Amino acid sequence: MPGWMDLAYTTAGGVVGAAVTNHLSRTQERRELRAAVMQQLLRVEAVRDEVYGIAPSRREGPARQPAGVRAPVAARFGAVAVLEDGRDAERAQREAVAELVAAALSAGVPRRVLDFAGGGAEHALRCEVLRAVDARLGGVLGAPLDELAVACEEYRQTTAQLLLGALWQPWRTRPRLRGRLRALRRDAAALHRMQEALESVLTGPQHLDALAERLRGSRSDQGAPRTDDGPGPAA
pLDDT tens digits, 129-144:
999 999 999 999 999 9
Alpha carbon distance 51, 83 (integer Å): 4
Tell me if the pTM is above 0.85: no
Beta carbons of 109 and 118 less than 8 angstroms apart: no
Alpha carbon distance 117, 72 (integer Å): 18
Q: Residue 122: how many CB atoms within 10 A of its CB?
A: 22
188 pLDDT above the threshold of 80: yes
Instruction: Collect all residues with Cβ–Cβ distance below 8 Å to 91 and sequence separation of at least 6.
Output: 72
Q: Which amino acid is at 223?
A: G
Alpha carbon distance 52, 138 (integer Å): 17
- The overall average pLDDT reported for the chain is 82
Counting Cβ atoms within 10 Å, is residue 181 exposed (0-12), middle (13-18) or buried (19+)? middle
Longest CA–CA span in the chain (Å) reads 98
Q: Which amino acid is at 142?
A: G
Alpha carbon distance 213, 207 (integer Å): 10
More confident residue, 218 or 107: 107
DSSP 57-87: B--SSPPP--TTPPPPGGGGGTEEEEETTS-
Beta carbons of 186 and 117 less than 8 angstroms apart: no
Half-sphere exposure at residue 126, Cβ-oriented, CA atoms within 13 angstroms: 27
Q: Residue 182: how many CB atoms within 10 A of its CB?
A: 10
What is the model's pLDDT at position 73?
87
Q: What percent of the chain has pLDDT over 90?
A: 66
